[in-house]
Structure 1
């Protein structure tokens, strides 16, 4: 079973791959994926190369290339999930390939590739994260800050207390 982070990487890898189809980034995407799947043997690598070549033709011939790409993402996500399950050591290479493809893609296709962050806040902490942007946070002191909770006697005399 894959971790959530590896499953997200597989989804992002599939999206980056199909985003590169029929663009100038395609050859790098094809070569990188073929190299990754080469871990499963030369026959598997040849089958993946054939599948990639067939899929890029689908995108090139589609009346709506974005729709064709969208249909191919789940297929490549599943292929990459299986690859990562069998070869978890491929994670670093896939992360690098996704980052390289994101940078090489035309602006219109860059939206297909997301930066996936996993953040965890614990023990009453606050966490702020921004990807390609800023987080500006201002906290004004609360009027109750620094005050002790009322004693039971004071609580009984508070407004709205029924006796």
Structure 2
């Protein structure tokens, strides 16, 4: 499983479900419909029906089962066609445009890399990050 695609799928699903029942729903639904159009056969019909259920969601209610469902659906779409990442990012940024109090952040590191991330505020270091293994610096 590609970790970056999985994280993007989770962010997109959270954005979609967070938009349900809000003023952002119509735009989120439009963006998701474009993604669903690229699904195949019965999966396309299943996702289209599930998207219609979202239009009846209650404002402010984020259903974790719905997030799980859409995370899996988006991951499958991204796994089949990674070029859809830009379309999923449009869905993710929609969330921040309509809800500025919500930050979306996707971090990843490979190999022995580390991520030091802050969503709000500043990050200060007295000195540079220390290696877990001092021999790595030699």
What is the TM-score of this pair, normalised by structure 1?
0.65
1:134 aligns with 2:122: yes
Q: Offset at 1:25?
A: 0.4
Match of 1:5 in 2: 4
CA distance in 1, matches of 2:68, 2:86: 21
Alpha carbons of structure 1 residues 48 and 106: separation in structure 2 relative to 1, 3 Å? farther
Of residues 54, 67, 75 in structure 2, which corresponds to 1:73?
A: 67
- Could you tell me which runs of 5 or more consecutive residues in structure 2 were left unpaired when the two chains were aligned: 128-138
Question: CA shift at 1:48, angstroms?
Answer: 2.9
**Aligned counterparts, 1:39-54, within 5 A:** 39-40=38-39, 45=44, 47-54=46-53
Alignment of 1:74-93 (within 5 A): 74-93=68-87
TM-score by length of 2: 0.75
State the shift of 1:41 in Å: 5.3
SS in structure 1 of the partner of residue 38 of structure 2: helix
RMSD: 2.8
Q: Paired residue for 2:19?
A: 20
Cα distance in 2, alignment partners of residues 15 and 22 from structure 1: 13
Whether the aligned pair in 1 keeps the contact of 2:16 and 2:91 (CA below 8 Å) is no
Residue 54 of structure 1 and its aligned partner are, at CA, apart by 1.2
Provide structure 1 residue ranges, at least 5 long, that are not aligned to the other structure. 140-163
Tell me the matched-pair count.
Answer: 127
Runs of 4 or more, structure 1, over 6 Å off, are: none
